[in-house]
Chain A
Amino acid sequence: MGQLTTRERDVAAAILIVLAIIGIAMAVAGRADPLGVHGAIVLLYSMALMYLIMSTSFGPAPDPSRISRYYDDPIKVGVWFTLFWAIFGMFIGVWAAAQLAWPSLNFDTAWASFGRIRPAHTTGVIFGFGGNALIATSFHVVQRTSRARLADQVSPWFVLFGYNLFCILAVTGYFMGVTQSKEYAEAEWYADLWLVIVWVTYFVLYIRTLARRREPHIYVANWYYMAFIVVVAILHIVNNLTVPVSLGHAKSYTIWAGVQDSMVQWWYGHNAVAFFLTAGFLAMLYYYLPKRAERPIFSYRLSILSFWGITFFYMWAGSHHLHYTALPHWVQNLGMTFSVMLLVPSWASAGNALLTLNGAWHKVRDDATLRFIMMAAFFYGLSTFEGSFLAVRPVNSLSHYTDWTVGHVHAGALGWVALITYGSLYTLVPAIWKRERMYSAALVEVHFWLAFAGTLIYVFAMWNSGVIQGLMWRTYTEEGTLSYSFVDSLVAMYPYYIARAFGGLLFLIGAVVATYNIWMTVRGAPVVSGERHDDLPLAAPVPEGAATSPAE
């Protein structure tokens, strides 16, 4: 925060005072309700930030030449948030997985029972880990590809800390039993309202920064970040329209009911996958892959095809979560059809990424960071194929409600989202901290194999358990009666639940290794001497083929 001027500090302090007052109001209105606890958390959070602002306010005035450089301070904090939420979310995930194998691991406490920690895991990894990674990298990519500094110095901090307040309210809420029960949108009404404010600020900041660009064209990565920001806002608002029981209650009731609610929820749920976990991370792929491989994106036309295909088709696909249910058939049919068609833009992206590596495969062999990115593109292709396959109604009749879905999600979440994130972080960290390289290339290698092995064990365990479960539920005896009771199928799951927990543990250890490596890089890796040419927004004229290779 050393670059903040006195006036900017005043603005930040004013925002924090308003936030503190909101916290007090929530605490008073909520009293014994969990809303009261959340009021106290909001108050403490704003006071802690106020302390941070105040404690550095008497330092020297910021260097006026900062305006000609990129604004990387919020990105650095975003990287730490990303690493923290990764370990938190994955730890809760391993714990939840272990509880399915050994149910007494909740120690007979309410807050740690499976139903409460499961959303803490999903929110922790999707919104905590994934969301912070998206915000941090988007700040990096939009500046570099536009050759422009972030539009102002307060709103990036507001977006970052505001977003993390949302994550904290969501996760602490689940431990207290505060949930809307809508999957991946469990946070209650007040946290949702707060996220809308944060998100609008994020959108305005992003557009204002793009408006300052010195490149005539907006680079592909920014298309995806824009789609991510805009569409997530639409999804979030529509799915979270609720009426609170009172202003003193954390609890609210959604305005949607029954069959319409199911469609709205899975329109949201599937497109949270599309625009949070796909579009945003494809943006990372389109910047960090060509940077790391030092090769331009294979095809500009393929990029256009896959971008608009994903933006248009995905929004139709949500109803494949509701095959054979009380949702009308025509909606199920549309969902299935568009899910199958989605394979075209999805594989166009994955193919575009892998073909970009043509001519650089020796780098994939030698550079574990590039291997993270390559393997992410591979898993992206794998899980999008699997997704289209599982959306076909007869296949879905077997796979739905089973662990196969869980395996599919984790092929995407671990194999695609987490690998591309770590590949991007290993590229981003030395760049913004001005280090020559990561502290230890060997530890990156170790992390790669831990993550890869963990993902494979996890996914194979869940594929097996899911298919077995689905088959046992529909197996008939020769007399025409069901062969297995439900409990029979549960007993068959235990070995796989243990294997899954082990796979997840390997992945978690990898995340700890990554955090250590990044910590040591920031502390001690050799510093780049002098100003690098890509640190100055005004450097270097527009290179040829600017549309396929990210500008500096």
Chain B
Amino acid sequence: MEKKTKRRDFLFTATYAVGAVGVGAVVWPMIDQMNPDASVKALASTEVDVSAVDPGKTITVLWRGKPVFIRRRTQEEIAEAKSVKLEELKHPEKDEDRAKNPEWLVMLGVCTHLGCVPLDQKGDYNGWFCPCHGSHYDISGRIRKGPAPTNMEIPKYKFVDANTIKIG
């Protein structure tokens, strides 16, 4: 028997297609309502005064509900961060690319494994150590040992003046 496309087949297909578009149009708002709302997005940037931070100290500020580490690194720490060979790194990044001004390291204090806050000046590389699942980061926030896949993230930031950093 020869199979012929009938007028009715066309009508069925057209009905299903319009129905699918209709269902999609109703379902999408139900899904999208869970994404960050306007009031959450409005808190996207924060300004920090760093004049009181001494070399070798880290302050933690809250940005978008997440901790941001701002560390004023000592000369030895900068030298150590720069001396690491890229081949030794799991996620190769130069220290220069992570700290525009080498004295200041500004990064999200969030372990890239499962989101815990790593502890300051701990671990095998004198940087940060995540207590949850044992990831070790160096003084540039780069992953050196443990389950985390990548280096700690560097947020968008800039120096508004010599003492003020704007994050976001």
Partners in one complex: no
